[in-house]
Amino acid sequence: MGNSAALVTGADKGIGKEIARQLADAGLTVYLGSRDASRGKAAAGEIGGDTRTLVIDVTDAATIAEAASQVAALDILVNNAGISAEGRPAGEAGVDEFRRVYETNVFGVVAVTNAFLPALRGSPAPRIVNISSGTGSLSWSAGSAYRSYAGNMAAYRSSKTALNAITLFYAKALGDPFKVNALAPGLRKTDLNAIAAASGGDPAEAAAGAVRLATLPGNGPTGEFISWDGTPVPW
Ligand code: NAP
């Protein structure tokens, strides 16, 4: 693998921590993004290898700018930080819930990606992985795949739909040698929300899917929405 430095946002726990762990285990320098310095340091210490804590709150421009000033060269950016908020259905979720979720899941990704683009542009094989969700697939939501969700989690799911669109546009705009893809990690046992905590699978399995996209070869896909197991997800 030619890549040598990676940043994972929201990596002090959950899927992000497993992505950081797997990248560190593969011998990369990993910038472990956390909005809390002590929790970030604890996670970095547990992971070991060349893992360095970077304080980033993806909704806070000052922390993003400060973090970007510390990283001159970057090969991989994993935009993993995300929140689900209250998960109310359309009609009950107010504009406050939409704003809060979009600040992190959508605007946070734009802000972090733009801030680290200068560092990524120096890489021979820059890779951006946006951690999306299958629940953001309009095709699956319009069909029978997510019948049980109905119109629930409207802010969260539409934020991931927006993230998918943004993924496609960055892929088109950045072009070769960038690879920019969105990952559907599957339902994972994390603190994201009650459904994930109660019935999710192993976060490490989702992380392996993210690492695959983070280390794609030059002939790999870009501008695609891909499941943790490597299969395509319909937009
Ligand atoms: P998690 O355990 O709750 O982890 C979320 C991470 O994001 C935490 O490190 C959290 O930091 C961080 N974060 C939240 N807001 C942030 C902000 N403003 N700035 C920086 N970091 C922030 O949940 P997870 O399941 O691992 O979620 C990771 C990603 O996977 C999310 O994008 C989520 O939407 C996606 N996803 C998860 C599932 C699932 O079933 N778990 C399914 C589909 C998609 P704190 O520790 O400071 O809160």
User: Over the range 103-129, which residues count as b (16 or more CB within 10 Å of their CB) and which as e?
Assistant: bbbbbbbebbbebbbebbeebebbbbb
- Using most ligand atoms within 8 A of CB, pick from 18, 46, 149, 188 the residue to mutate for ligand 1: 188
Residue 118 lies inside a defined structural domain of this protein:
yes
164: left (phi over 0), alpha (psi -120 to 50) or beta: alpha
Atom of ligand 1 nearest to the CA of 131: 32
Beta-sheet pairing, 76-79 with 127-131:
parallel
Which residue among 102, 146, 149, 156 is the active-site one?
156
| Ligand 1 centroid from CA 82, angstroms | 4
- Atom 34 of ligand 1: nearest residue by CA position: 82
Residue 233 lies inside a defined structural domain of this protein:
no
Give pLDDT tens digits for 29-78: 999 999 999 999 999 999 999 999 999 999 999 999 999 999 999 999 99
> Which residues have C-beta atoms less than 6 Å from ligand 1?
9-10, 12-16, 35-36, 56-59, 80-83, 104, 108, 131, 133, 185, 187-188, 190-192, 196, 200
Instruction: Report whether 21 contacts 207 (CB < 8 A).
Output: yes
Provide the terminal-to-terminal Cα distance of the chain, rounded to the nearest Å. Answer: 30
* SS3 call for 140: helix
Give pLDDT tens digits for 142-168: 998 787 788 999 999 999 999 999 999
Report the CATH number at residue 58: 3.40.50.720
Give pLDDT tens digits for 179-212: 999 999 999 999 998 988 898 999 999 999 999 9
Is 149 a known active-site residue? no
User: How far apart (Å, rounded) are the C-alpha atoms in residues 22 and 32?
Assistant: 12
Query: Across-strand partners of 226?
Result: 183, 232
| Ligand 1 centroid from CA 13, angstroms | 8
Amino acid at 109: V
Residue 217 lies inside a defined structural domain of this protein:
yes
In this prediction the pTM is 0.98
Q: Which domain holds residue 175?
A: 5-227
Amino acid at 81: A
Residue 234 lies inside a defined structural domain of this protein:
no
Residue 71 lies inside a defined structural domain of this protein:
yes
Task: Give the total number of structural domains in the chain.
Answer: 1
Atom of ligand 1 nearest to the CA of 59: 18
Spatial CA neighbour of 164 closest among 141, 189, 184:
184
C-alpha dist (Å) from residue 217 to 40, 67, 118, 126, 211: 30, 28, 21, 10, 12
C-alpha dist (Å) from residue 14 to 26, 51, 69, 162, 200: 19, 16, 26, 22, 11
Question: How far does Cα 44 stand from its chain's mean position?
Answer: 18
Atom of ligand 1 nearest to the CA of 39: 46
Give pLDDT tens digits for 64-116: 999 999 999 999 999 999 999 999 999 999 999 999 999 999 999 999 999 99
Give pLDDT tens digits for 119-146: 999 999 999 999 999 999 999 999 987 8
| Ligand 1 centroid from CA 11, angstroms | 8
Residue 232 lies inside a defined structural domain of this protein:
no
